[in-house]
């Protein structure tokens, strides 16, 4: 596979009719944080644009970057975000209570990252992680979570069945959107699941992207922006069915699917289908309005930052999530605008944000070099962060929340 290819068919239903909705220009990879030495080189940039499938309502990136480049060495750690750890622990409890009956049951996690979810389950059943990133898989193994370092596929599924037997539960959180060939993964899931088994997958919900969330969730890792409608079409292709669905308050609003080999859709499935229709998610016009809203955020944020800098205010970034890089690069903010970005991930410290080249510092910097304004790039944790930073706020630091509309708190 070359470094990048243009997708010609819908990833969920294979329709050839894809409508361009929004282009965010050419951007570097959102998780490609740079070392000081790497600043000397020009960064590779790739088109970042989304297209809509009017047939099944799937929203998807127009271009696909080779996953070996994106995921072989990964800086993202689940355990760096306290609210995410809490979310995964609650999810582990739910899995254990609802789907695990004996210690022999097997739970397989696709994209198991540093093992945060599976380590909370490993005392109640057998667990196995699958993740291609060697550096994070090592962390999981160190916590006692056996991990296969591979991209999950039908072939890998067969190998797991041979060695470990079928899985009662397969979990995949924030990873299915990373995968180009969904048929291969869904066929693998079908192969690996036991007869009554359940595939639980959580992804960012398209309804949130165009509603209360932010366009900055769009970056090269996120190939798909799922609706219930699209996933029903996708599951049907591998002869499976969405039996339950839930909107969960993480990363803005995520959608959690329960997919099985047989069963009937729950009342919640029927209700969300109706809701998606009432939100206009089947109509192309809805996404045109969304694209206009995104352009407005760019103008407003840029105007605000320029105005504050003229007033000699010091501005920093708060959180260095991948999505922050989409936002900074689309709006055109650089080290001339933000003095630094604070982040809780040690792996990111003293690295530079791709494109904008703003330095990432440890959170203690916020008290040492106290800014006037903090641009909240981790807006999905706004509630927790605003509560955590009470002291800074009393000292006068104001937070700029960039999406869905620019506001200061």
Name the residues that contact ligand TYD, by CB under 6 A. Answer: 76, 80-84, 319-323, 343-345, 378, 380-381, 384-385, 388
Q: In this complex, which beta carbon is closest to ligand TYD, that of residue 83 or of residue 146? A: 83
Q: In this complex, which beta carbon is closest to ligand TYD, that of residue 80 or of residue 228? A: 80
Question: Do 106 and 137 touch, CB atoms closer than 8 A?
Answer: no
Cα separation of the two ends of the chain: 46
Q: How far is the CB of 371 from ligand TYD (least distance, A)?
A: 14
Q: In this complex, which beta carbon is closest to ligand TYD, that of residue 278 or of residue 394? A: 394
Q: How far is the CB of 49 from ligand TYD (least distance, A)?
A: 18
Which one, of 201, 215, 285, 210, lies nearest residue 248 by Cα?
201
Characterize 1-35 residue by residue with b for buried, 16 or more Cβ atoms within 10 angstroms of its Cβ, and e for exposed. eeeeeeeeebbbbeeeebeebbebeebbbbbbbbe
Biggest CA–CA distance in the chain, Å, is 66
Q: How far is the CB of 168 from ligand TYD (least distance, A)?
A: 28
Sign of the Cα pseudo-torsion (409, 323, 309, 37, in order): positive
Q: How far is the CB of 99 from ligand TYD (least distance, A)?
A: 25
Show the beta-strand stretches assigned E in 205-236: 224-225
Rounded distance between C-alpha atoms, residue 223 and residue 242, angstroms: 21
Q: In this complex, which beta carbon is closest to ligand TYD, that of residue 167 or of residue 175? A: 175
Q: How far is the CB of 381 from ligand TYD (least distance, A)?
A: 4
Rounded distance between C-alpha atoms, residue 311 and residue 395, angstroms: 19
Token pair for 72: 């072989």
Q: At 51, give phi and psi (nearest 5°).
A: -130, 150
Q: How far is the CB of 76 from ligand TYD (least distance, A)?
A: 6
Q: In this complex, which beta carbon is closest to ligand TYD, that of residue 241 or of residue 339? A: 339
> Cis peptide leading into 102, omega within 30 of 0?
no
Q: In this complex, which beta carbon is closest to ligand TYD, that of residue 133 or of residue 193? A: 133
Rounded distance between C-alpha atoms, residue 28 and residue 324, angstroms: 12
- Dihedral-angle region of residue 127 (phi above 0 means left; psi in -120 to 50 means alpha; beta otherwise): beta
Question: Do 369 and 240 touch, CB atoms closer than 8 A?
Answer: no
Q: In this complex, which beta carbon is closest to ligand TYD, that of residue 272 or of residue 294? A: 294
Q: How far is the CB of 319 from ligand TYD (least distance, A)?
A: 4
Q: Cα 321 to chain center, whole Å?
A: 10
Q: How far is the CB of 241 from ligand TYD (least distance, A)?
A: 29
Q: Which residue's beta carbon is nearest to the bound ligand TYD? A: 321
Q: How far is the CB of 396 from ligand TYD (least distance, A)?
A: 20
Token pair for 75: 């800086």
Q: In this complex, which beta carbon is closest to ligand TYD, that of residue 81 or of residue 112? A: 81
Q: In this complex, which beta carbon is closest to ligand TYD, that of residue 212 or of residue 388? A: 388
């Amino acid at each position: 596979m070359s470094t990048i290819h243009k997708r010609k068919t819908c990833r969920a239903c294979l329709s050839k009719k894809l409508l361009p909705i929004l282009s965010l220009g050419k951007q570097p990879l959102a998780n490609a944080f740079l070392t000081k030495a790497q600043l000397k080189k020009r960064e590779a940039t790739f088109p970042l644009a989304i297209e809509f499938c009017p047939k099944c309502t799937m929203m998807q990136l127009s271009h696909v970057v080779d996953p070996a480049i994106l995921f072989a060495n990964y800086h993202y750690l689940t355990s760096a975000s306290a609210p995410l750890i809490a979310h995964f622990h609650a999810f582990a409890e739910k899995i254990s209570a609802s789907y695990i009956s004996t210690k022999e049951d097997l739970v397989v996690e696709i994209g198991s990252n540093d093992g945060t979810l599976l380590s909370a389950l490993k005392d109640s059943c057998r667990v196995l992680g699958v993740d291609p990133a060697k550096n994070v898989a090592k962390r999981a193994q160190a916590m006692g979570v056996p991990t296969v370092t591979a991209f999950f596929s039908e072939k890998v599924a067969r190998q797991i069945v041979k060695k470990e037997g079928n899985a009662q539960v397969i979990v995949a959180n924030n990873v299915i959107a990373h995968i180009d060939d969904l048929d291969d993964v869904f066929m693998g899931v079908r192969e690996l699941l036991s007869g009554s088994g359940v595939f639980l997958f959580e992804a960012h919900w398209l309804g949130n992207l165009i509603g209360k969330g932010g366009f900055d969730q769009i970056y090269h890792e996120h190939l798909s922006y799922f609706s219930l409608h699209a996933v029903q079409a996708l599951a049907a292709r591998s002869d499976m069915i969405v039996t339950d669905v839930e909107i969960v308050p993480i990363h803005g609003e995520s959608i959690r699917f329960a997919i099985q080999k047989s069963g009937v859709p729950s009342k919640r499935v029927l209700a969300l289908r109706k809701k998606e229709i009432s939100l206009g998610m089947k109509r192309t016009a809805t996404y045109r309005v969304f694209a206009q809203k995104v352009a407005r955020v760019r103008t407003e944020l840029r105007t605000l930052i320029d105005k504050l800098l003229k007033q000699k205010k010091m501005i920093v970034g708060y959180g260095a999530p991948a999505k922050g890089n989409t936002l900074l690069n689309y709006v055109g903010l650089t080290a001339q605008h933000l003095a630094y970005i604070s982040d809780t991930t040690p792996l990111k410290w003293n690295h530079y944000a791709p494109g904008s080249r703003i330095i990432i510092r440890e959170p203690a910097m916020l008290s040492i070099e106290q800014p006037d304004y903090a641009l909240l790039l981790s807006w999905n944790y706004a509630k927790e962060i605003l509560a955590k930073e009470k002291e800074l706020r009393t000292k006068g630091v104001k937070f700029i929340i960039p999406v869905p509309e620019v506001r200061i708190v």
